[in-house]
Amino acid sequence: MKLKNYLLGKWIEPSGEGIPQYHAITGEMIALCGSEGIDFAEMMEYGRKTGGPALRKMTFQERGLMLKNLALYLSEIKEKYYPLSYMTGATRTDSWFDIDGGIGNLFSYSSLRRKFPDSTFYVDGDNIPLGKGGTFMGQHIMTPKRGVAIHINAFNFPIWGMLEKIAVNFLAGMPAVVKPAKQTSFLAQAMAEDIVASGILPPGAFQLVCGAGRGILDKLESQDVVTFTGSAFVGKMLKASPAVIENSVPFNMEADSLNAAVLGPDAVPGTPEFDLFIKEVRKEITLKAGQRCTAIRRVLIPENLVEDVQLALAKQLKQTVLGDPNNETVRMGALVSRDQVEEVRNRIRELTRGSEIVYGDPLNFEVVGGDKGKGAFFGPVVLYNKDPFRNQETHNIEAFGPVTTLVPYRNLDEAIELANMGKGSLVCTLVSNDEKIVREYTLGAAPYHGRIHILNGACAKESTGHGSPLPMLTHGGPGRAGGGEEMGGMRGVMHYLQRTAVQGHPDMITAVTNVYQYGARKTEKLIHPFQQHFEDLEIGETLITAKHTVTETDIINFANVSGDNFYAHVDATALDGTIFERRVAHGYWILSKAAGLFVDARKGPVLLNYGIDECRFTKPVYPGMTIGVRLTVKEKVTQEQKDENDIPKGIVKWLVDVYDETGETVALVTILTMVKRRP
Query: What does the alpha-carbon distance between residue 528 and residue 519 come to, in Å, rounded to a whole number?
Result: 22
The pLDDT of residue 17 is 87
Q: How confident is the model at residue 577 (pLDDT cuts 50, 70, 90)?
A: confident
The pLDDT of residue 11 is 96
Q: Poorest-confidence range of 127-136, 261-270, 382-391?
A: 127-136
Query: What does the alpha-carbon distance between residue 224 and residue 146 come to, in Å, rounded to a whole number?
Result: 7
Q: Does residue 608 carry a pLDDT above 90?
A: yes
Torsion angle (degrees, nearest 10) of CA 28, 31, 32, 33: -130
- Over the stretch 637-648, which tens digit does the pLDDT of each residue have? 888 888 888 899
What's the average model confidence in pLDDT over 359-376? 91
Candidates 377, 387, 58; CA nearest to 200 is 58
Portion of the chain with pLDDT greater than 90, in percent: 87
Q: How many other C-beta atoms lie within 10 A of the C-beta of residue 417?
A: 15
The pLDDT of residue 23 is 95
Query: What does the alpha-carbon distance between residue 610 and residue 618 come to, in Å, rounded to a whole number?
Result: 23
The pLDDT of residue 194 is 97
Q: How many other C-beta atoms lie within 10 A of the C-beta of residue 136?
A: 16
The pLDDT of residue 447 is 96
Pair 122, 63: CB distance under 8 Å: no
The pLDDT of residue 8 is 96
Identify the burial level of 163 via C-beta atoms within 10 angstroms of its C-beta, where 0-12 means exposed, 13-18 middle and 19 or more buried: buried
Q: Which helix (H) or strand (E) holds 483?
A: none
Q: Which helix (H) or strand (E) holds 7?
A: strand 5-7
Q: Does residue 233 carry a pLDDT above 90?
A: no
Q: Does residue 256 carry a pLDDT above 90?
A: no
Give strand pairing partners of 614: 670
Identify the burial level of 246 via C-beta atoms within 10 angstroms of its C-beta, where 0-12 means exposed, 13-18 middle and 19 or more buried: exposed
Q: Does residue 95 carry a pLDDT above 90?
A: yes
CA pseudo-torsion sign 486, 492, 498, 499: negative
Query: What does the alpha-carbon distance between residue 395 and residue 354 come to, in Å, rounded to a whole number?
Result: 11
Pair 453, 427: CB distance under 8 Å: yes
Candidates 538, 546, 548, 547; CA nearest to 654 is 538
Q: Which domains does the chain have, with CATH numbers?
A: 5-118+145-255+491-498 (3.40.605.10), 259-471 (3.40.309.10), 504-676 (3.10.129.10)
What's the average model confidence in pLDDT over 653-662? 96
- Over the stretch 42-63, which tens digit does the pLDDT of each residue have? 999 999 999 999 999 999 999 9
Candidates 410, 397, 655; CA nearest to 537 is 655
Pair 656, 594: CB distance under 8 Å: yes
Q: Which helix (H) or strand (E) holds 69?
A: helix 60-77
Strand ordering across the sheet containing 296-302: 356-359, 381-384, 403-409, 296-302, 259-263, 428-431, 452-455
The pLDDT of residue 641 is 81
What's the average model confidence in pLDDT over 434-454? 96
The catalytic residues are 254, 293
Q: How confident is the model at residue 231 (pLDDT cuts 50, 70, 90)?
A: confident
Please write down the HEC assignment for all residues of 555-614: HHHHHHHHCCCCHHHHCHHHCCCCCCCCCCCCHHHHHHHHHHHHCCCCCCCEEEEEEEEE
The answer to pTM > 0.85 is yes
What's the average model confidence in pLDDT over 491-504? 95
- Strand 137-144 with 122-129, pairing: antiparallel
Question: What are the phi and psi torsion angles at 378 (to 5°)?
Answer: -155, 125
Q: How confident is the model at residue 181 (pLDDT cuts 50, 70, 90)?
A: very high
Q: Does residue 297 carry a pLDDT above 90?
A: yes
Alpha-carbon Rg of the chain, whole angstroms? 30
What's the average model confidence in pLDDT over 374-400? 95
Pair 449, 427: CB distance under 8 Å: yes
The pLDDT of residue 109 is 95
